[in-house]
């Protein structure tokens, strides 16, 4: 059993405002995706598009801020109209901090990330890693705070539905099914995370849970164990297995289909997410664009 995406976490953008913001975006030059690595360009695009309707722009930003601070720590915006060259997407995201990405490597790694089935990582445990609930960028030295994702094209076969599980539900599931000792273990015993090559490829140790955050991607812990030779106690390994089983079976997982033009904004420390399988596999032309935003040290 799954849960619907809650109405309180949906925002409908009035068509007039969506039109003004699109016009504001289209008045700007056609930048390359690569150009957006420069925070100064992000700032410029943000201030120029905001000028198209400062009150409307701030209204959207404040609503997003307000909603992601509360359960379910994500918000779905409907009715925005995005330009093909991502200027409006960058402008909205820049209101929350700096947009960051992996070093440029087409097609996926760009400042505005391109998420397509063909570049999703296959799982040694079957299926694709993206089909398992996870935190983004756990292989980064600096944890990513916010995720912003727009559906450019949904999968024609109805696959690739979005799944989200929030921190409150995760903590409840652990308490109920695994008990307070396991909850404490997950909060106190650090586990190893294999860092991305661009961060030196070493290990970073941090716990899975805290009162206010979740960090989960078994794939990256397994890389640290299997490839980097990190060690965990049998008790901890069993707890990680049990944890994964409990979250995967949770009836609190929200399940929804993102439609063209919809924007999902999430707190990467307070929810985990996944997408469902896509029957056409790599042949699907589903396209999502995403950015990672760090609020700290934004200016």
Ligand X SMILES: O=C(O)CCC(=O)C(=O)O
CA-CA distances (angstroms) from residue 29 to 49, 64, 186, 214, 299?
Answer: 12, 27, 49, 40, 23
* 165 lines the binding site for ligand X (CB under 6 A): no
Task: Quote the CA–CA distance of 208 and 262 in Å, as a whole number.
Answer: 30
Residue with tokens 């935003």: 293
Distance in Å, CB of 4 to ligand X, minimum: 17
Q: Which of 99, 130, 164, 289 binds ligand X (CB under 6 A)?
A: 130
Distance in Å, CB of 236 to ligand X, minimum: 25
* 173 lines the binding site for Fe ion (CB under 5 A): no
Distance in Å, CB of 95 to ligand X, minimum: 22
Shorter beta-carbon distance to Fe ion: residue 182 or 194: 194
* Pattern 61-100, ligand X, x by CB under 6 A: ----------------------------------------
Region near Fe ion per CB under 5 A, out of 35-43, 133-141, 154-162, 233-241: 133-141
Going by C-alpha positions, the residue among 205, 3, 196 that lies closest to residue 101 is 196
* 162 lines the binding site for ligand X (CB under 6 A): yes
203 beta partners: 194
Task: Quote the CA–CA distance of 69 and 66 in Å, as a whole number.
Answer: 5
Using CA atoms in the order 139, 206, 216, 38, what is the torsion angle rounded to 10 degrees? Answer: -40
Region near Fe ion per CB under 5 A, out of 73-81, 129-137, 175-183, 192-200: 129-137
Shorter beta-carbon distance to ligand X: residue 42 or 220: 220
Which residue's CB comes closest to ligand X? 275
Burial of 50: CB neighbours in 10 Å, binned 0-12, 13-18, 19+: buried
* 275 lines the binding site for ligand X (CB under 6 A): yes
Shorter beta-carbon distance to Fe ion: residue 48 or 269: 269
Distance in Å, CB of 36 to Fe ion, minimum: 20
Q: Is the dihedral of CA 190, 191, 192, 198 positive or negative?
A: negative
- The string of DSSP letters for 198-237 reads GGTS-EEEE-SB-SS-B---HHHHHHHHHTS-----HHHH
Going by C-alpha positions, the residue among 151, 137, 34 that lies closest to residue 89 is 151
* Residues at the site binding Fe ion, with contacts judged by CB under 5 A: 136
* Residues at the site binding ligand X, with contacts judged by CB under 6 A: 115, 130, 136, 160, 162, 273, 275, 288
């Amino acid at each position: 059993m799954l849960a619907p995406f809650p109405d309180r976490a949906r925002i409908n953008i009035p068509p007039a405002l969506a039109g003004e913001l699109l016009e504001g975006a289209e008045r700007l030059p056609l930048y390359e995706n690569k150009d957006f690595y420069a925070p100064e360009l992000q700032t410029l695009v943000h201030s120029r598009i905001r000028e198209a309707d400062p009150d409307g722009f701030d209204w959207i930003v404040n609503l997003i801020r307000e909603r992601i601070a509360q359960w379910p720590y994500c918000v779905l915006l409907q009715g925005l109209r995005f330009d093909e060259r991502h200027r409006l997407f960058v402008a909205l995201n820049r209101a929350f901090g700096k947009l960051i990405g992996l070093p440029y490597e087409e097609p996926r790694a760009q400042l505005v990330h391109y998420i397509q089935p063909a570049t999703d990582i296959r799982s040694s445990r079957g299926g694709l890693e993206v089909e398992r609930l996870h935190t983004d960028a756990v292989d980064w030295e600096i944890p990513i705070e916010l995720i912003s994702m727009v559906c450019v094209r949904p999968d024609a076969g109805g696959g690739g539905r979005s799944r989200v599980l929030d921190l409150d539900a995760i903590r409840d599931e652990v308490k109920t099914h695994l008990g307070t000792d396991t909850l404490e273990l997950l909060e106190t015993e650090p586990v190893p995370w294999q860092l991305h090559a661009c961060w030196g490829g070493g290990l970073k140790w941090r716990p899975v849970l805290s009162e206010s955050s979740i960090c989960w991607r078994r794939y990256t812990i397994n890389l640290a164990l299997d490839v980097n030779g990190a060690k965990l106690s049998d008790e901890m390994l069993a707890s990680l297995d049990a944890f994964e089983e409990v979250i995967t079976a949770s009836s609190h997982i929200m399940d929804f289909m993102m439609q063209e033009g919809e924007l999902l904004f999430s707190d990467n420390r307070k929810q985990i997410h996944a997408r469902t399988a896509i029957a056409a596999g790599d042949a699907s032309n589903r396209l999502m664009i995403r950015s990672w935003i760090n609020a700290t040290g934004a200016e």
